[in-house]
Chain A
Amino acid sequence: MAEAIHEVHRHPAPTGFIRKYIFSIDHKVIGIQYILLALTAVIVGLVMSVLMRMNLSWPGTNWPILGTLFPTGAPGGIMTPEFYLSLVTMHGTIMVFFVLTTAPQGGFGNYFLPIQIGADDMAFPYLNMMSFWVTFVGFIVLLTAILAEGNLTVGAWFSKLGESFAAGSGTVGPIGGWTGYAPLSALGKIAGPGQGAGVNLWIISIAIFCVGSLLGALNFITTLLNMRTRGMTLMRMPLTCWAWFTTAILALLSFPVLLGGGILLLLDRVAGTSFFIPGGLYVSGALVPQHTGGSPLLWQHLFWFFGHPEVYIAILPGMGATSHILSTFARKPVFGYRAMVFAIFAIGMLGFFVWGHHMFISGMSPYSAIAFSVLTLSIGVPSAIKTFNWLGTLWGARIRFTTPMLFAIGFVSLFVAGGITGLVLGQTSLDFFFHDTYFVTAHFHLVMGVASIFGMFAATYFWFPKMFGRMMNENLGKFHFWITFLGVYAIFVPFHAMGMVGMPRRYAQFGEYEFLKNTHGLVLFVTVAAIITAAVQLVFYFNFFWSMFKGKKAGDNPWEATTLEWGIPSPPPHDNFAGIIPEVHHGPYEFSVPGAAKDYIMQTDPEAAT
């Protein structure tokens, strides 16, 4: 008995297919599962964004395939406004939760955090497996929301669950935006199409996702605090680990709040409570007598208390990866390592005190708006420190322009481009005009969407050889970089122009308003750029899956990098270090050390190497 308990923790290599690839407790397999989940989700989100662009540029056009797939949402192949709005909602939800939160943290974090700190696995491997599968179930539930609203047969099944599960409205999911503002999201089907079962499933999916992320965050924090190998002091950790650690703390403290809010919202919908619904509402021609005493602003507070840290959950791992990759290919230590660590932490912690900047014009107290505004602009300081230090890292470098390096440089450029407009949007007086215009859409797409994705592209090209033992094709990678880099700027810079003329977000068509009539050219330009950029992502997918089997063999350390993962075989053995305890003697970014034999010193190299 005692012997059996001995072995519980150190799991042997699994043998069966299911334990090896499906219900695996190996953090490396789980990491790849997360990456594959994100790669699946991102296609769905990307197709939705292309459909949205098509609707905006060519409203009223007949797309026969849509008419076949969604006979009520796109009758005769023509997208209805509610169809468009549900695309908006699902695109946002899928991208934020199942792409930007899963790939950087659950994917790369899971795979590389234990290796980079010299552990053989996460602290709680079973919990880790649970966290992926819970997240996966969340994704399936979200996809079900599409079917429940968009497909009459599936919708009919859900309608049997009761009043609030009325379904089959013909949209492709709920309507409410990814922010799901109450009371629109709380009232149920009386509020219009796309407010039935789809919204319930949307909330349930997010609640499940919260649980999965919390399990992951528990594991990340415990692992990092408790499982670092000998010599791996906190200040010798790669910046990626610091980023994943901060992200885990953010997730740990913000997801419970969303979970709480989600439970309240669901109760409002299915149990008749009134947390977010005030009394005396008159909706769709009838009084709503059963609700009283709730507050719509409460939902916004709960949502954005989560929502703002979530933005950093999406981008911090990208920052970590960028610092890491810039240093590796610049062949130079990271400029101001300590400042970078403090900046990551400062961004993360300040992120908890600025949620009100999403709510300046919501009816919240104008005094608190001022406090939120000043705090918001102060986040610019650590963000600027990071930018300066990235430039400092490249200063005097010997840059090797590999694909991961191109994407990392792209990240810096996009982070600056997207982040700096926060100075505009963070001011209460300017929010009078810019709130909920395309200027906001431009800002957050560049900084939290595209920059984060560039971080992940960089990470994929960088770590692919370690994960699969083969290199990704450099030529395809560079082609992918160039079109994507120019493409995203072509898409999102014009968004600022649309914001300047006051174009509101989440409009299914712009033809109703005279003040938007001069934007036709811009809208069309963006659509063309979006379609080209989206199409080029197929090259990435091809490169990813083709290289997995046919790519050039990679050695243990193809990039001549320094951190622990590059000292073990590619792909790593089951317990990462093959039973050998790594011992760390150096900081993570010892490149071009004067007098050293090579231009890099691995963290595990003996002291004498200096």
Chain B
Amino acid sequence: MGRVLGFAIWLITLGSVGMFVSKHWWFPQSISEHGGLVDRQFGITIIVVGISFTAAQVGLGWVVWKYRDTSAATRATYSHGNNRLEVLWTVVTAVIFISLAVMGQRVWASLHLHAAPAGSYTVRVVAQQFSWNFHYHGKDNVFGRTDPTLIDDSALNYVGLDPADPNAKDDSVVSTLVIPVNRPVELILTSKDVTHSFFVPQLRFKQDLVPGMAIPVHFTVNTTGKFELACAELCGMNHYKMKSYMLVLPENEFNELVNLPQDKFQARKDELLNKYQLPQY
């Protein structure tokens, strides 16, 4: 039984490690400036994880194989442990784990501990049960005033924009996130009803949208194209299809688009949405 069990543990280890090494199921392509760093940090981490996992499982398989009870004649080694070994492996694991922990903060700190760089393009994101609204400030670079009491889904005022406010005249609200390539983007995330989460796998970015909070986040995308945007926080019955797209446009195409008035913005955006294709998976 010992040999079979040891062998089974090794096989499981081989299979699990093989699944990662084959990279058959892996991250989708990275499209953001920080994405490469996230992938690299994951690469380092998964190597540490893989080595520790393999060492522990192979070790377990080996002791199970080697020390199976073969005869009643001999007894097991009588030992209560070894303090030096104990200290050694405590220190080694502590050093490795804490180093990983410290390294693992770098990308996080670069995105979250700094305000959005100057020249960022700002978009307000207002999530609601099972759909996304993206609020653009238009030519004037100022968002029109919004007020929750003005929200009226049936009148298509999804974010509660105040029509009396002159700043609101050139604002657009659309259901697709359109952003420029190679320019920092700042999103101000909020929700009308329950907690949602903004997730674009290619972006290597995720952030909850919490009602009652406006959470500013920023990142820079370096690849044009069309990408799926998913909700990653349980928000109710249709959570699984709270889907939208993130459209990353070249600077000129983007500038042309966002300076259009609402109705033309909408139409042009739909054109562009058809023009770009989703990545091949």
Q: Is B81 in contact with A423, judged by CB distance below 8 angstroms?
A: no
Q: Is B79 in contact with A396, judged by CB distance below 8 angstroms?
A: yes
Docked CA distance A363–B112 (Å):
11
**Of A238-246, A408-416, A463-471, A570-578, the one touching chain B:** A408-416
Q: Does B122 contact A (CB under 8 A)?
A: no
Q: Does B239 contact A (CB under 8 A)?
A: yes
Docked CA distance A392–B82 (Å):
9
Docked CA distance A479–B37 (Å):
46
In the complex with contacts A366-B108, A374-B102, A515-B28, A593-B76 CB distance below 8 A: no
In the complex with contacts A183-B211, A332-B79, A280-B149 CB distance below 8 A: yes
In the complex with contacts A81-B237, A377-B98, A183-B201 CB distance below 8 A: no
Q: Is B56 in contact with A296, judged by CB distance below 8 angstroms?
A: no
Q: Is B97 in contact with A423, judged by CB distance below 8 angstroms?
A: yes
Q: Is A333 in contact with B78, judged by CB distance below 8 angstroms?
A: yes
Q: Which residue of B lies closest to A360 (CB)?
A: B108
Q: Does A489 contact B (CB under 8 A)?
A: yes
Name the distance in Å between A89's Cβ and chain B's nearest Cβ: 9
- For chain B, residues 131 to 167, give those with C-beta under 8 angstroms from any C-beta of chain A: 148-149, 151, 153-154, 160
Q: Which residue of A lies closest to B4 (CB)?
A: A482
Q: Is A509 in contact with B240, judged by CB distance below 8 angstroms?
A: yes
Contact of B105 among A373, A497, A512 (CB under 8 A): A373
Q: Which residue of A lies closest to B22 (CB)?
A: A497
B28 contact set on A, CB distance < 8 A: 501-502, 515
Q: Is B46 in contact with A424, judged by CB distance below 8 angstroms?
A: yes
A420 contact set on B, CB distance < 8 A: 49, 52-53, 56
Docked CA distance A413–B9 (Å):
8
Q: Is B108 in contact with A428, judged by CB distance below 8 angstroms?
A: yes
B26 contact set on A, CB distance < 8 A: 500-501
Contact of B78 among A80, A498, A593 (CB under 8 A): A593
Q: Does A435 contact B (CB under 8 A)?
A: yes
A401 contact set on B, CB distance < 8 A: 1-2, 5, 68-69
Q: Does B228 contact A (CB under 8 A)?
A: yes
Name the distance in Å between A379's Cβ and chain B's nearest Cβ: 9
A498 contact set on B, CB distance < 8 A: 25
Q: Mark A463-498, 1 if CB is under 8 A from B, else 0.
A: 000000000000000100010011001000110111
Q: Which residue of B lies closest to A88 (CB)?
A: B234
**Of A119-127, A263-271, A283-291, the one touching chain B:** A283-291
Q: Is B107 in contact with A396, judged by CB distance below 8 angstroms?
A: no
In the complex with contacts A184-B234, A191-B194, A388-B89, A336-B101 CB distance below 8 A: no
Name the distance in Å between B32's Cβ and chain A's nearest Cβ: 10
Contact of A424 among B42, B89, B239 (CB under 8 A): B42
In the complex with contacts A385-B90, A391-B63, A502-B201, A192-B107 CB distance below 8 A: no
- For chain B, residues 40 to 91, give those with C-beta under 8 angstroms from any C-beta of chain A: 41-42, 45-46, 48-49, 52-53, 56-57, 59-60, 63-64, 67-69, 74-83, 85-86, 89-90
Q: Which residue of A lies closest to B16 (CB)?
A: A493
Docked CA distance A228–B205 (Å):
54
In the complex with contacts A420-B53, A517-B281, A363-B208 CB distance below 8 A: yes
Q: Does A504 contact B (CB under 8 A)?
A: yes
Q: Which residue of B lies closest to A589 (CB)?
A: B80
Name the distance in Å between A29's Cβ and chain B's nearest Cβ: 35
Name the distance in Å between A299's Cβ and chain B's nearest Cβ: 10
Q: Is B80 in contact with A426, judged by CB distance below 8 angstroms?
A: no
Q: Is B206 in contact with A282, judged by CB distance below 8 angstroms?
A: no
A176 contact set on B, CB distance < 8 A: 234
Q: Which residue of B lies closest to A179 (CB)?
A: B234
Q: Is B67 in contact with A398, judged by CB distance below 8 angstroms?
A: yes
Q: Does A131 contact B (CB under 8 A)?
A: no
- For chain B, residues 2 to 42, give those with C-beta under 8 angstroms from any C-beta of chain A: 2, 5, 8-9, 12, 15-16, 19-20, 24-28, 37-38, 41-42
B42 contact set on A, CB distance < 8 A: 424, 430, 433
B195 contact set on A, CB distance < 8 A: 181, 183-184, 296, 362
Contact of A85 among B53, B81, B237 (CB under 8 A): B237
Q: Does B192 contact A (CB under 8 A)?
A: yes
Q: Is A396 in contact with B76, judged by CB distance below 8 angstroms?
A: yes
- For chain A, residues 261 to 316, give those with C-beta under 8 angstroms from any C-beta of chain B: 278-285, 287, 294-297
B69 contact set on A, CB distance < 8 A: 331, 398-401
Name the distance in Å between A339's Cβ and chain B's nearest Cβ: 5
In the complex with contacts A85-B239, A283-B129, A436-B197, A515-B228 CB distance below 8 A: yes
Q: Is B113 in contact with A367, judged by CB distance below 8 angstroms?
A: yes
Docked CA distance A398–B85 (Å):
22
Q: Is B129 in contact with A192, judged by CB distance below 8 angstroms?
A: yes
Q: Does A330 contact B (CB under 8 A)?
A: yes
Q: Does B255 contact A (CB under 8 A)?
A: no
Q: Is B81 in contact with A287, judged by CB distance below 8 angstroms?
A: no
Q: Does A370 contact B (CB under 8 A)?
A: yes
Q: Which of A80, A389, A395, A426 has the most C-beta atoms of chain B within 10 angstroms of its own C-beta?
A: A395
Q: Does A335 contact B (CB under 8 A)?
A: yes
Contact of B12 among A283, A400, A413, A427 (CB under 8 A): A413
Docked CA distance A178–B205 (Å):
25
A279 contact set on B, CB distance < 8 A: 148, 212
Q: Is A506 in contact with B60, judged by CB distance below 8 angstroms?
A: no
Q: Is B79 in contact with A333, judged by CB distance below 8 angstroms?
A: yes
Contact of B104 among A392, A427, A522 (CB under 8 A): A427
Which 6 interchain pairs have the tightest Cβ spacing? A278-B212, A427-B104, A396-B77, A502-B201, A280-B148, A336-B81
* Contacts beyond the supplied A330-B67, A493-B19: 18 A-B pairs with Cβ under 8 Å: A85-B237, A281-B193, A282-B153, A332-B79, A385-B89, A399-B69, A409-B60, A409-B64, A429-B108, A436-B206, A436-B233, A437-B232, A489-B12, A489-B15, A500-B26, A515-B201, A522-B25, A592-B75
30 residue pairs A–B, Cβ–Cβ below 8 Å = A283-B129, A284-B193, A335-B82, A377-B101, A378-B101, A385-B90, A391-B60, A392-B81, A394-B67, A397-B63, A416-B53, A416-B60, A417-B57, A420-B52, A426-B101, A426-B104, A427-B105, A430-B104, A433-B201, A493-B19, A496-B19, A497-B24, A498-B25, A506-B240, A512-B240, A514-B228, A515-B201, A592-B75, A594-B75, A599-B76
